[in-house]
Amino acid sequence: MTLPVAWNLAGRTALVSGAGSPSGIGFASARAIGSLGARVVITATTVRVHDRAEELRTLGIDATGFVARLDSETHAAALAERLAAASIVPEILVNNAGMVSVGDEGMPSGDATMPVADWERGVAVNLTSAFLLTRELIAGMRAAGWGRVVNVSSVTGAVMAARADVAYAAAKAGMVGLTRALAVDEAAAGITVNAVAPGWIATGSQLASEAAEGLRVPIGRSGTAEEVAAAIAWLVTPGASYVTGQVIVVDGGNSVAEERS
């Protein structure tokens, strides 16, 4: 079946970071974008990324996986060098790499008294990584005269906040500012930049307490990675070419509800 022009990504190459988890937003996004005809490159910090790439290939998607960290200039530049060596020039970038909120193993969390080192690590992993990878890939998009960047933020920080989670909230709010600034800077080059802000999402990393919160949103359940991925996939299509600098909240109406059941 031939896809409508507004949805067709044939001939495009997408890079989705943070796509190692089989139940995560990154992998779901890679699958959704690949189903629209794009070649897909995925990254993760462990070798499980190769399993995800193989899963995509079994679906008929042209997929390649790279093990890469992105939280320093050195790491981001190393990935860019490997992409160049493989003649891969992504025109689509989904900045999904990062940690989830409080409760994620190893996630630095705390209030205003948290150690500076933990603050810096939280910001580096959740915000600076997106800036660094975008900086490495934006030249290729400019040269092509076409590009899509989608930053995966969160309702935490961008819309609301959880207790004792200042670094994560600040980083995810920063993703929104980065999105809007890039959207203004890159519009003339044919590049759109948007963000999605997921709420309670039922991935493999969701805690039991978070799943319980998901039952209290207006829709009455947590969202799925596929539902977030659907928003991301739409934002990178030709049909979304007049949408830039926006934040799409995917939270089942939680952020607009004045009362909880």
pLDDT (tens digit per residue) in 98-137: 865 433 455 567 899 999 999 999 999 999 999 999 999 9
Task: Give pTM, 2 decimals.
Answer: 0.95
Give the H/E segment covering residue 21: none
pLDDT (tens digit per residue) in 141-179: 999 999 999 999 999 999 999 888 899 999 999 999 999
Segments of 38-124 assigned E as strands: 39-44, 63-67, 92-95
168 is catalytic: yes
pLDDT (tens digit per residue) in 185-241: 999 999 999 999 999 999 988 889 999 999 999 999 999 999 999 999 999 999 999
Q: What is the pLDDT of residue 102?
A: 39
Segments of 98-155 assigned E as strands: 147-152
Of 131, 168, 200, 234, which is the active-site residue?
A: 168
Return the bridge partners of 112, or none: none
pLDDT (tens digit per residue) in 39-92: 999 999 999 999 999 999 999 999 999 999 999 999 999 999 999 999 999 999
Give residue limits of the domains in the chain: 5-250
CATH 1.10.10.60 fits 5-250, yes or no: no
